[in-house]
Amino acid sequence: MSARTKGLWMVIIAATMWGLSGTAAQWVFQQKHVGTEWLVCVRMIVSGFCLLAFASFRGIPLFHIWRERNSRLLLILFSFVGMLGVQYTYFLSIAYGNAAAATLLQYLAPIYIVLYFFIRERKHPSVSIWGALMLAICGTFLLLTNGKIGALSISFPAFLWGVVSGVLLAFYTICSAKLLKKWDSLIIVGWAMVIGGIAIMPSVDSFFAPFATFDFQTVASLLFIVVCGTLLAFLLFIESIRYLSPTESSILSSVEPLSAIVASVLFLHVSFGFFQTVGSLLIIATVILLGKQKMASPS
Give me the pLDDT at residue 293, please.
Answer: 57
Mean pLDDT by 10 residues, the chain (299 residues): 78 85 90 90 92 93 94 94 92 89 81 78 71 76 72 81 91 82 89 94 80 86 90 79 63 70 79 80 74 45
Range of the domain at 148: 3-296
Count the neighbouring beta carbons within 10 Å of the beta carbon of residue 268: 16
How many independent structural domains does the chain possess?
1
Separation of alpha carbons 163 and 169, rounded Å:
10
> pTM score, two decimals?
0.80
Separation of alpha carbons 45 and 88, rounded Å:
13
On the CB side of 276, how many CA atoms lie within 13 Å of its CA?
21
Asked if 236 contacts 6 with a C-beta cutoff of 8 angstroms, the reply is: no
Count the neighbouring beta carbons within 10 Å of the beta carbon of residue 158: 22
Give me the pLDDT at residue 103, please.
Answer: 83
**43: exposed, middle or buried (Cβ count in 10 Å: 0-12, 13-18, 19+):** buried
